[in-house]
C-alpha cells in the first residue's frame, strides 16, 4: 500500500526504518521482585514475539502463585518500612526522576514498544512514550499536594496495589497505574500482558536507575493465571484492572466482600457522531484517528460511526479516499500508519467478527493493499448498511474495523449512541457549540470528545459507565482510586 498514484505515475515511499540498535533485548528475563531480578520458583517461562515478523524477541518468566506471593510480601515490606514513612515531597522526587529518565530513554522505549506490540513507531514515539512521561510528571507534582486534592486534610494511601494491564498500550497503561499509586504513597505489584511484557521489564530497570527503594515497584510477568493470583491475593488492598469486560466481571465477583478497593477500565463501543454541518475533511481525520489509530486496539475507539443521513455520501467518499492513502507495514518504518495486529488470537477474533458482519448482511469494504507474508495483519475495513442489531454494531471488535450507521435528528443520534452496554467514550462533530453541549449532556459516556477524538492528557479523568467499568484514571480524580477516602 506504500503507493500514491497520480495519473500513470506511481510514487513509492522509500523505506525509513528506525534503527533497533538502540534496544538491548536480553535473551531471557527474570521477575522484578524487591528491587532484584529473580527466577520464578517453578522455572516456567514463555516467549514474547514481534507480531509483525513472528520473530522471538525474548524468553520471559511466568510467575506462579508463590512468586506473586513473594512480590506482594516485598511490596508490603517496602510500604511498611520505607515508602509510607517518606515525606511526600521525597516520593515526588523519585517520580520526577523516573519521568526524566523516561524522557531520556524515550527512543529506546518507543522502539521496544513497537517491536513487542506491533504498533507504528510514529505512534509509540509521538503518542505513547511522551504521554507516559507526562503521566509521571503530572503525578510527581501531586505527591506533596494531596492535602489540597479535595479528599480531606491528610488523605492516607491504601497500602499495596495489585495492577493488571492489557497489551494495547503496554507502557502507557503501566504509567496510568503506577504513577498515581506511587504518588499517593502506595507500593505496587504489576502484571503486564503476556504478549507485551518487554517495556514493563525495561521500566523495572528504570526504577533501579532512579534508585527507587526496593519493593516499591514489583513486576510479575505471566498470563491470565498470574493476573488471577495477583487480584485474588489476600495481601493486597487495591486492584486496578484494564482489559476485557469478561475478565473485569470475574474480578468484580472475586473481590466482592474482600474489602479491596477496585477500579475497572473495560471495553467500549464508542459512537463517533458526524453532523452534516461538520467540516468534512477534519471529521474524516477524526474518524480515521478514532478507529485506525493503534490498529483499532483502543478501548475508547470510535468503532461505530454515526453519520447524519444528508452527509453520508460525502463523508463515505472522503473516508475511502483517505483510507487508501494509509500505509500498512513494518511498525519500525517512520512512514507506517497501520502496524501489525498484536497476536494471532486477536487477528482470529477480528476475522471472525468481520465474517459475521458480512453474513448478517452488512456491506464490507476494504482498502486494496498487500499484506506482509509474515506476521499478523488486517487491512482497514469499513462496514456500511449496518443496523443496530448487527453484532459488529454491538460487540467490541478491537481491530481496524469501522461500522457505519446513519441518523436523521440529534435525538436519534443520542438514542443510537447510547444503545450499547458500554459507555467509555463518544465523539461529536458539528459546527454548533450549543449542539456539542446538548449532546455531551445526553451521551452516557465517560469521555465526550468534541471535534476531536482519542486525545489524552494526564490532567483529564478517563473511565467508563455501565459495562465499561468504574473508577477514574488521570488528573485529580485519578488520585481517589489510590487514597483511603
* Interacting span for Mg ion (CB under 5 A) from 109-117, 184-192, 233-241, 404-412: 109-117
Positive/negative CA dihedral, 474, 475, 476, 482: positive
168 binds, among Mg ion, ligand NAP, none (CB under 5 to 8 A by kind): ligand NAP
Catalytic-labelled residue, pool 184, 207, 299, 369: 299
Residue from 72, 182, 202, 247 touching ligand NAP (CB under 6 A): that is: 247
Q: Tell me how far, at minimum, the Cβ of 249 lies from ligand NAP, in Å.
A: 10
247 binds, among Mg ion, ligand NAP, none (CB under 5 to 8 A by kind): ligand NAP
Applying CB under 6 A, the site for ligand NAP has a residue count of 26
Of residues 221 and 272, the one with the C-beta less far from Mg ion: 221
* Pick from 267, 306, 302, 291: nearest CA to 466: 267
Instruction: By CB under 6 A, tell whether 267 contacts ligand NAP.
Output: yes
Residue from 111, 146, 231, 338 touching ligand NAP (CB under 6 A): that is: 231
Instruction: By CB under 6 A, tell whether 227 contacts ligand NAP.
Output: yes
Q: How far apart, in whole angstroms, are the C-alpha atoms of residue 25 and residue 117?
A: 14
> Are the C-beta atoms of residues 309 and 413 closer than 8 Å to each other?
no
Residue from 71, 109, 134, 164 touching ligand NAP (CB under 6 A): that is: 164
DSSP 7-22: TTEEEEPPP-BPPSTT
Q: How far apart, in whole angstroms, are the C-alpha atoms of residue 388 and residue 286?
A: 22
* Cell 443520542 found at: 414
> Are the C-beta atoms of residues 76 and 90 closer than 8 Å to each other?
no
> Are the C-beta atoms of residues 46 and 59 closer than 8 Å to each other?
yes
Cell of 437: 453541549
Instruction: By CB under 6 A, tell whether 236 contacts ligand NAP.
Output: no
* Interacting span for ligand NAP (CB under 6 A) from 43-51, 105-113, 219-227, 270-278: 219-227
Nearest-10 Cα torsion for 420, 422, 424, 430: 0
* Cell 514498544 found at: 113
Instruction: By CB under 6 A, tell whether 34 contacts ligand NAP.
Output: no
* Interacting span for ligand NAP (CB under 6 A) from 132-140, 149-157, 187-195, 198-206: 187-195
* Interacting span for ligand NAP (CB under 6 A) from 116-124, 190-198, 329-337, 477-485: 190-198
* Cell 467509555 found at: 424
Residue nearest to ligand NAP (CB): 227
Determine whether 265 is an active site residue: yes
Instruction: By CB under 6 A, tell whether 194 contacts ligand NAP.
Output: yes
Nearest-10 Cα torsion for 266, 269, 273, 274: 120
296 binds, among Mg ion, ligand NAP, none (CB under 5 to 8 A by kind): none
DSSP 29-94: E-EEETTEEE--TT--EEEEE-TTT--EEEEEE---HHHHHHHHHHHHHHHHHTGGGS-HHHHHHH
Determine whether 299 is an active site residue: yes
Instruction: By CB under 6 A, tell whether 362 contacts ligand NAP.
Output: no
Catalytic-labelled residue, pool 18, 123, 194, 265: 265
* Interacting span for Mg ion (CB under 5 A) from 180-188, 195-203, 265-273, 392-400: 195-203
Cell of 445: 459516556
Angle at alpha carbon of residue 266, lines to 397 and 290, rounded to 5°:
50
Instruction: By CB under 5 A, tell whether 124 contacts Mg ion.
Output: no
Residues that bind ligand NAP (CB under 6 A): 164-168, 191, 193-194, 223-224, 227-228, 231, 242-244, 247, 250, 265-267, 299, 346, 349, 396, 398
Binding region for Mg ion (CB under 5 A): 48, 116, 195
Q: What residues act catalytically?
A: 265, 299
Amino acid at each position: 500500500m506504500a503507493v500514491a498514484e497520480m495519473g500513470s505515475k506511481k510514487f513509492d515511499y522509500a523505506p525509513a526504518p528506525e534503527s533497533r540498535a538502540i534496544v538491548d533485548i536480553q535473551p531471557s528475563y527474570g521477575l522484578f521482585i524487591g528491587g532484584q531480578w529473580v527466577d520464578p520458583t517453578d522455572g516456567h517461562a514463555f516467549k514474547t514475539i514481534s507480531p509483525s515478523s513472528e520473530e522471538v524477541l525474548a524468553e520471559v518468566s511466568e510467575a506462579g502463585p508463590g512468586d506473586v506471593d513473594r512480590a506482594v510480601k516485598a511490596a508490603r515490606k517496602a510500604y511498611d518500612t520505607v515508602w509510607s514513612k517518606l515525606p511526600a515531597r521525597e516520593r515526588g522526587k523519585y517520580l520526577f526522576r523516573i519521568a526524566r529518565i523516561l524522557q531520556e530513554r524515550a527512543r529506546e522505549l518507543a522502539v521496544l514498544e513497537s517491536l513487542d506490540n506491533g504498533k507504528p513507531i510514529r505512534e509509540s514515539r509521538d503518542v505513547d512514550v511522551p504521554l507516559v512521561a507526562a503521566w509521571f510528571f503530572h503525578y510527581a507534582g501531586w505527591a506533596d499536594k494531596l492535602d489540597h486534592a479535595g479528599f480531606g486534610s491528610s488523605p492516607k494511601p491504601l497500602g499495596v496495589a495489585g495492577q493488571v494491564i492489557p497489551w494495547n498500550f503496554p507502557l502507557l497503561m503501566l504509567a496510568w497505574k503506577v504513577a498515581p499509586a506511587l504518588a499517593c504513597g502506595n507500593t505496587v505489584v504489576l502484571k503486564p500482558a503476556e504478549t507485551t511484557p518487554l517495556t514493563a521489564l525495561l521500566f523495572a530497570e528504570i526504577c533501579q536507575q532512579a534508585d527507587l527503594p526496593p519493593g516499591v515497584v514489583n513486576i510479575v510477568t505471566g498470563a491470565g493465571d498470574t493476573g488471577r493470583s495477583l487480584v485474588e491475593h489476600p495481601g493486597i488492598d487495591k486492584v486496578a484492572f484494564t482489559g476485557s469486560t469478561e475478565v473485569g466481571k470475574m474480578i468484580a465477583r472475586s473481590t466482592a466482600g474482600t474489602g479491596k478497593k477496585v477500579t475497572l477500565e473495560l471495553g467500549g463501543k464508542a459512537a463517533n457522531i458526524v453532523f452534516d454541518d461538520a467540516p468534512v475533511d477534519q471529521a474524516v481525520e477524526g474518524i480515521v484517528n478514532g478507529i485506525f489509530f493503534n490498529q483499532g486496539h483502543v478501548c475508547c475507539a470510535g468503532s461505530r460511526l454515526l453519520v447524519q443521513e444528508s452527509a453520508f455520501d460525502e463523508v463515505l467518499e472522503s473516508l475511502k479516499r483517505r483510507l487508501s492513502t494509509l500505509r500498512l507495514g513494518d511498525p519500525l518504518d517512520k512512514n507506517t500508519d497501520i502496524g501489525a495486529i498484536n497476536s494471532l488470537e486477536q487477528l482470529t477474533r477480528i476475522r471472525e467478527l468481520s465474517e459475521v458482519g458480512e453474513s448478517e448482511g452488512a456491506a464490507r469494504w476494504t482498502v486494496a493493499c498487500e499484506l506482509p507474508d509474515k506476521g499478523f495483519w488486517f487491512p482497514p475495513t469499513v462496514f456500511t448498511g449496518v443496523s443496530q442489531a448487527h453484532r459488529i454494531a454491538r460487540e467490541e471488535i478491537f481491530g481496524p474495523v469501522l461500522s457505519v450507521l446513519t441518523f436523521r435528528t440529534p435525538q436519534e443520534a443520542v438514542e443510537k449512541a447510547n444503545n450499547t452496554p458500554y459507555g467509555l467514550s463518544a465523539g461529536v462533530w458539528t459546527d454548533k457549540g450549543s449542539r456539542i453541549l446538548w449532546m455531551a449532556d445526553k451521551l452516557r459516556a465517560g469521555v465526550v470528545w468534541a471535534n476531536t477524538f482519542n486525545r489524552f492528557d494526564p490532567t483529564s479523568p478517563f473511565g467508563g459507565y455501565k459495562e465499561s467499568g468504574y473508577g477514574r484514571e488521570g488528573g485529580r480524580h485519578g488520585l481517589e482510586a489510590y487514597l483511603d477516602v
